[in-house]
């Protein structure tokens, strides 16, 4: 009897440990709230995926940066397969876990965010330090976004998608990094879009309340300024 119980236990323990080793394909995200990695958290949270948040370092990113995702075990950082560059990470998650993802509709916007929108949102020095933004300057691509967002709440088919995670994340870093040293009053549809995305529950969860409130506050201010509202009137009142 005792021998049987022992045997059963051994079988059970073996089964459990074997299945853990085989089934540990869970997502591991290296990053922190003060970096660009929360955009990956945002998408994972919008999809209700569970994942393990890991500190930024050590990580298996070839340039030792974040975000860095491992879709599988991370027991040995030297042999695991990391996915890096925010756009590549988003596209990996989209392809594997997002039932609404379409490569034709969404992938171009994710790549656009990384290649074209990034240098507009972030003016950087040669070391990648953010010096300011060009989002407040006239720009043909931003003018197209402004027009698209005049009658659409979201980028693709008027439905929230990975395209919005990529684009709104970048846009919403502009208020965070620049405060009111910039004004986006000239692109109110983009500003309303930034606000709309920041109001999403999962945005605040991923980026934190301070980041969300900064976007909310400054976008509200820019919309008032754009209408020639209070902010401008007060300025004239001084003189």
Q: Which is nearer to ligand NAG, 162 or 182 (CB)?
A: 162
The answer to whether 236 and 229 are in contact (CB under 8 A) is no
Query: Residue 216 is encoded by which pair of tokens?
Result: 């909310």
Site for ligand NAG in 172-201 (CB under 6 A): none
The binder of ligand NAG chosen from 26, 32, 36, 47 (CB under 6 A): 47
Instruction: Tell me: does residue 159 bind ligand NAG (CB under 6 A).
Output: yes
Helix axes 162-178, 86-97, angle to 10 degrees: 150
192-216 per-residue burial string, b: 16 or more CB within 10 A, e: under 16 = bbbbbbbebebbbebbeeebbebbb
Query: Residue 54 is encoded by which pair of tokens?
Result: 């890991």
Q: Which is nearer to ligand NAG, 161 or 178 (CB)?
A: 161
Shortest spacing between CB 98 and ligand NAG, in angstroms:
6
Shortest spacing between CB 162 and ligand NAG, in angstroms:
9
Residue nearest to ligand NAG (CB): 100
Q: Which is nearer to ligand NAG, 193 or 222 (CB)?
A: 193
The residue ranges that bind ligand NAG (CB under 6 A) are 47, 98-100, 159
């Amino acid at each position: 009897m005792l021998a049987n119980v022992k045997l059963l236990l051994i079988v059970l323990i073996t089964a459990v440990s074997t299945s853990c080793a085989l089934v540990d394909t869970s997502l591991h995200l290296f990053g922190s709230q003060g970096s660009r990695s929360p955009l990956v958290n945002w998408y994972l949270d919008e999809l209700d995926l569970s994942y393990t948040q890991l500190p930024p370092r050590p990580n298996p990113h070839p340039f030792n940066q974040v975000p860095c995702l491992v879709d599988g075990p991370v027991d040995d950082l030297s042999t695991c397969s990391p996915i890096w560059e925010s756009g590549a990470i988003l596209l990996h998650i989209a392809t594997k876990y997002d039932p609404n993802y379409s490569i034709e509709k969404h992938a171009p916007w994710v790549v656009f965010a990384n290649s074209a929108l990034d240098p507009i949102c972030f003016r950087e020095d040669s070391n990648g330090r953010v010096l300011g933004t060009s989002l407040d300057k006239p720009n043909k691509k931003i003018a197209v976004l402004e027009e698209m967002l005049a009658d659409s709440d979201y980028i693709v088919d008027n439905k929230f998608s990975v395209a919005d995670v990529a684009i709104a994340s970048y846009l919403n870093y502009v208020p965070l990094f620049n405060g009111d040293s910039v004004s986006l009053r000239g692109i109110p549809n983009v500003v309303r879009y930034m606000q709309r995305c920041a109001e999403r529950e999962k945005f605040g969860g991923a980026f934190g309340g301070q980041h969300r409130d900064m976007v909310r506050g400054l976008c509200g201010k820019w919309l008032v300024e754009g209408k020639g509202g209070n902010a401008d009137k007060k300025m004239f009142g001084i003189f």
